[in-house]
Amino acid sequence: MGILSDLFKGRERRGHPSNPGDWLLGLSGGIKTYAGNSVTEENSLKSTAVFSCVRVLAESVAMLPLHLYRRTDGGKARATDHSLYRILHRQPNPEMTSFIFRETLMGHLVGWGNCYAQIIYGGNGQVTELWPLRPDKMSIERVEGELVYEYITSSGQPRILLRSEVFHVAGLGFDGIQGYSPIAKAREAIGLSLATEEFGSRFFGNGARPGAVLEHPGQLGKPAHENLRASWKEKHQGLSQAHNIAILEEGMKLHEIGIPPEDAQFLETRKFQVNEIARLYRVPPHMIGDLEKASFSNIEQQSIDFVVNTLTPWLVRWEQGYDTRLLANGDEDNFFAEHLIEGLLRGDIAARYSAYAVGRQWGWLSANEIRRLENMNPIDKGGDIYLVPMNMTPSDQLTAPLPVLPGQEDDTLDIEGRVIRQLPEGRAGFPKNRDQLRKRYKPLFLDAAQRFVTREVLAIKRQAGKDLTRNLQAFKAWMEEFYKDLPKHIRKNFMPVLISYIDAIQEEANGEIGLEPEMTPELKQFAGEYLDRYSQRHIDSSIGQLQALIRDTDIEELRETIEQKADEWGEKRPARISMNETARSGNATAALIFFGAGYKLIWRNSGTENCPYCDSMEGKVISKGQYFVKGNTDLQPDGTDAPMKIFNSIRHAPLHGG
């Protein structure tokens, strides 16, 4: 051993009776428990509870996919080109798969509290193989500040390994280097489990009968005594001879000995020890076959709890061991090992699909990512595209300038208030900013409108097909109930985007007149009231159009006519709602702020081509409490052929629908 052997001169030797190693304790039968039996890490596996816990933990860790990842800018990618990837993921040595290797070492870890593997390096300094080492043959010493490992080989000779030659994962320990043996710490509990198993075996080996005494009236010599015992065992011991009839000779009598109460409770003792050992390893009892207190309703949650609270700490130990022991030469900064535990956390199919739907809807899962989680092949077209909710938009994009495309101009109106006060210098661009906001929010309003208009269209067509061929009155009654319920769906879809839009508009409008932006309670109340008014306008329009069709259409053609009208709504109405309500709600918000600050409003048309009715409004000025056009009046400017009926008072644009 050269230099290393010199380092170990004078060191206390392993295997001395005053300091026995695990291997020597095993040869001597181990340490006896109060139950009277000896318990070692190896013979403890005779306890079905211990064996089951070790097996569950070892197989659970080994079955998890293990990958080596390369750190990327803000993410990670599998490092399949790294030599360690094959060793961890597929085959650590020519004789073992990754599963067998990790299962073996995990069994060592939960049995002895430590697991070891010898690291074999290639000529380039990279790890090429990993070979398991028996933990009961390993000891660790610190020599001149460095850890060295002494391993007793199969020939009984010690071999010294440097720290860089040993892959070591330790469990809970007292010095941060070696872990406690769970078997040694729970020796008494395991000893009692083994003792109850032995008691049961012996009990049934005696025919499931308690002990008995044969009484002979005379005095038996030693040979006769032994012959009688042997004859009795031959005829009555064992389950196969449990019910043989005993023939007593020479006046002998049989006296049965009752079972002491504590022995009669050995089944309950065995059950308790199963839970005791499960507690030691933090394994749910149902996973080792004890279903006494389990139910199908809680097993899923217990299994998830097992992953989170039992497996995860072990997995962290393994992953940090891979990173610190197997990565070197700067690789530890760029690479890391990680288990995939998502499969163990999968709930039932309904819970999984519900979670996928949330991730897909909110844009952090693509269709192909979901398919990979479900072990399905990817789809070629659109599978890697992420959805973006239309009612959410990055705040930094709300006021970013948009290019004006050909044909994008419309006759939507804007408001500028500058009569009583002059706008602060440098703020003339704010009305344009509000116009940009309107354009940015139009797709969001469109999405919201499509949701409830689609609901309305489908409901009308479904009910028309059901009632209009048989019962017109039933359809009218359904209309009344349906439109009582529709406002809550309009509010559900419109309120989030409306609140966001009003908040953005108030920020621009307040900035336009030099005030501090604030989304006041009054503005929130205004949003609710505005939405109530819009809902009523929408419903009045729908009911009015349907009633006109019912009044003016023959009953034989009514179903087809109403279905055509519903299809027309579905095709055109959301776009009109988006255009009108972005203008109407934005201008109403600005008007509310300007009036509150003491400004008057002046009507300004935007766009290059406006109708004569809108042109007639250009330059009109109103103060708070006034209207550009009062309700229930006819507006007929010069150049028009007929008056426009104004039903509601107009305080802000638009004058009419687009």
* Low-confidence residues of the chain: pLDDT under 50: 1-20, 23-24, 27-28, 208, 210, 239, 261, 391, 395-429
pLDDT at 508: 84
Dihedral (CA of 505, 507, 510, 513) sign:
negative
pLDDT at 289: 80
pLDDT at 74: 75
pLDDT at 336: 94
Spatial contact of 621 and 419, defined as CB atoms under 8 Å apart: yes
Q: Of 449, 500, 498, 456, which Cα lies nearest the Cα of 479?
A: 456
Is 0.85 surpassed by the pTM of this model? no
Residues facing 19 on adjacent strands: 16
Spatial contact of 152 and 23, defined as CB atoms under 8 Å apart: yes
pLDDT at 9: 42
Contacts 24+ apart (CB under 8 A), 80-84: 82/331, 82/335, 83/122, 83/126, 83/127, 83/128, 84/126, 84/127, 84/326, 84/327, 84/335, 84/337
The Cα–Cα gap between 338 and 318 comes to 9
H/E segment holding residue 607:
none
pLDDT at 15: 40
The Cα–Cα gap between 373 and 379 comes to 14
The Cα–Cα gap between 233 and 238 comes to 8
Q: Which residues contact 35 (CB under 8 A, 6 or more apart)?
A: 188, 191, 192, 194, 195
* DSSP conformational letter for 10: T
DSSP for 486-546 reads HHHHHHHHHHHHHHHHHHHHHHHHHHHTTPPP---HHHHHHHHHHHHHHHHHHHHHHHHHH
The Cα–Cα gap between 598 and 594 comes to 6
* Residue 478 Cα distances to 468, 473, 481, 566, 575, angstroms: 11, 9, 5, 16, 27
pLDDT at 98: 96
The Cα–Cα gap between 243 and 237 comes to 10
* DSSP conformational letter for 378: P
The Cα–Cα gap between 623 and 252 comes to 125
Q: For 389-445, what is each residue's pLDDT tens digit?
A: 654 555 444 444 444 434 434 333 333 333 333 444 444 445 677 788 888 889 999
3 state SS for 155-212: CCCEEEEEHHHEEEEECCCCCCCCCCCHHHHCHHHHHHHHHHHHHHHHHHHCCCCCCE
Q: How many CB atoms lie within 10 A of CB 498?
A: 25
Q: Of 357, 449, 447, which Cα lies nearest the Cα of 393?
A: 447
**H runs (alpha helix) in 517-653:** 521-552, 555-596, 612-615
Spatial contact of 651 and 591, defined as CB atoms under 8 Å apart: yes
Q: Given the DSSP bridges, would you call strands 644-646 and 633-635 parallel, antiparallel or unpaired?
A: antiparallel
Kindly report whether the peptide bond that precedes residue 210 is cis, defined as omega within 30 degrees of 0.
no
pLDDT at 596: 76
The Cα–Cα gap between 619 and 171 comes to 82
pLDDT at 87: 95
